[in-house]
A and B are shown apart, each in its own frame.
Chain A
Amino acid sequence: MVRDIVDDPLDEDDIALVKTYGLVPYSAPIKKVEKEIKELTEKINDLCGIKESDTGLAPLSKQMMQEGQPLQVGYVSCFRYIPIDLLMDIFSRVPAKSIARFRCVSKLWESILCRPDFKELFMTMSSIRPPLLLFTFQDDDGNLFFFSSPHPQIPCNENTSLVPTRYHVQHTTDSFSEIGSPLCGFICRRGKRNLDTMVICNPVTGESVSLPKVELKSINTETRPYLGYDPVRKQLKVLCIKSDDIPNTCDEHQVLTLENGNHLWRTIQCKPHYPKSDGICIDGILYYTAGFDMRARVSMVVCFDVRSEKFSFINIHVFMLMNDSCTLINYKGKLGALQFTCLSPKRLRFWVLVNAEKNIWTKCIYALPPLWNNLVQHTELAIVGMTDGGEVVLSQYCLIYAFYIYYFNLESKSLTRVQIQDVEMFKRTRVYTSLGYVENFKLMTDYDRGFNTFSPQGRLF
């Protein structure tokens, strides 16, 4: 039965009628109670002088709406009815820069934005969104400057440029730091001179945490830190691989779980090897290429299970020709690798590990498009990685006059050059470009020992 448009709420007759449509027995008392609550609420509202029959417009505006006039109050009046969990949902969808600004809107907003469950939600939403590019510059005094930007929409026109967001400046005491790839919004850097010093930094919060010094067996011990994420226990760990100049001697390495409180290195055993590439974390396994020593060829891909802290190895045959400049990537959830050929004409090699147990890789080699000579010429480019859309991202190592990154689509052979603006002051400075940067507001104090209570919805590495 279709009801006529009336202004009354449901009355006794209506409830009786709805009852006859075969609702389960308990719904009648519920409806009765609901009706009582509604009547009481109306009584209270009448006493307060508020008339409310919808989601809450002030009486004056409601009257004006009915008269057909537009809302004249000049602000969003029903905003005050939005519950905090919906506010957090909205906030989790804006970039970190906006969050930082909104902290001074009011004390209520400041308190919401500093809540640990909000930071967890922000991190989750950040991870679901397409990851950002991160550019790191270091000046002669050791100060680190971080910039991020979303990827441009490819395909885009020739003159596309990106204006990146700049974060907190990090002041370091050790110039020429080695900087690793970001993971979960954190970056691990190691002093170039002080090999036993590792620092974890977060560009968004500006927090910089020094880890306890790593134990060095001799003055010739080298260290290489990697970040790894265990999605099951939601823990971020730092793995420090040590190697000596006498090959095959160093089988003790160290691992540390990032959390609030005292950070302690734990010793773990693994056969001696010399790490060569940056690490990439896929589904809780950290991968990096390695050789037997510094001068040896790449002979293995090391797989470190972040949760169990166990190592396994994928043998790299000499005919694969993987070298020190090979970049590991995440190709649709599988491990991939990209590398330029040494001999000219310069081409791009692309491997994908299709079967880890049987060590089966697909291998492709791609010629560079003719446009390469015009756009890139003789500039040395670093292979940064591959986007979800299958574009290989390449970056200058160093800013000369302008800073460009390149997108190379292997299938369509299209090459796009994109300029990064507002970084001209870093002329002749080394730049580290990374993919997969995720904005994260968490401080070290937000990481509890053991399990986090909030479970993220999206996939996290």
Chain B
Amino acid sequence: MNTSDSEEDSYNERSALVQCESPTIPSYNQDHDVSLPQQTDTKRRRPVSSGLDEPGPVERERASTPDGEEEELTLKYGAKHVIMLFIPVTLCMVVVVATIKSVSFYTEKSSQRLIYTPFEEDPNSVGQRLLNSFLNTIVMISVIVFMTIILVVLYKYRCYKVIHGWLILSSLMLLFWFSFMYLGEVFKTYNVAMDYPTLVMIIWNFGVVGMICIHWKGPLRLQQAYLIVISALMALIFIKYLPEWSAWVILGAISIYDLIAVLCPKGPLRMLVETAQERNEPIFPALIYSSAMVWMVGMADSSNPGSADGRLRNEGGARAQEEEESEDDVAHGGRRRYSAEEDLEEDRGVKLGLGDFIFYSVLVGKAAATGGDWNTTLACFVAILIGLCLTLLLLAIFKKALPALPISITFGLVFYFSTDNLVRPFMDSLASHQYYI
């Protein structure tokens, strides 16, 4: 989590700037408002600070142009950030869907269930099934809330070692145990003969490099790839172990919870972020996907997100970790904040919590798993992307932190159920007659 010294200095100068201007951001509302004055400040300071490599003309333009060009740049940067999120979300979904369609393990129903969904779904009675899925959801959501509160308490009382240990333990489990399981199933599906020494070497290398990239330093692309892979693994576990109807109800409930937790003044996450900002420190190591373009310190620093922006996201991902630890994967709704401060080329990119990745992939994966109809999967995919786009648009309009789950999941659920029940029979009839619309 520590950058090398020289880079740290120049970075610190800028981050110090950022934090000086807006060191403690007590509420989400002020985030973007406060970031604006600091932008002008950084603009002025930019020519002075050393080691920065921004193209001069753009910078001068920024300082001198009126809102006009800035708005155009805003739009272009905004669009760029949207795409920077589209690509990893798409990749994660592609990995999950490809696995679901080829490896049958993740769609086989086992009698095993997570302890977080204790009520069994009886396929015979609709009422009973519905009731049980609601009960499962209540159990799961209360577990998530409980764990978040523990996290906040631990953080408030500065038990950092406990938290770090917890996070490291969970990512260890993900990178070694779950990927071992995944690899095993892939080998079974394709009938690949593999000996244990080779397997141990592969898993060992994969896991160790992953731990280093995620918790310490590594090339940006590698870190992003690892984050996508672990989100996909987690989503696959969810798809396998959550009972049918419970999964849908949980998706809905999680997005409602996300909405409440981010927008209500007394939400645990909000308290966490505020505490972190009061103390002026980064929250947790990267369980936030960062698409940062040009870090001043180069790609190797994965902990840079630990600035004002990183906080929100980090902690979202952190929650994912606490839960995985217990071998279940109670992922949660990630918090996410759009940080498109156009600090020009040094725009830190956008960050999205891993919980968001996981739940998007769960939705699309479940759409792919049930029924085998590709139209439904495609429809959910497009719906989620549009939801993400709208969320970012709302963010740019309101300049307030917004949760990433509700809009996308709502669109996804609506499109899943309507495509599955309405569009599918229509398109099937059309295809059988070969009529084209």
- Whether A and B are associated in the same complex: the answer reads no
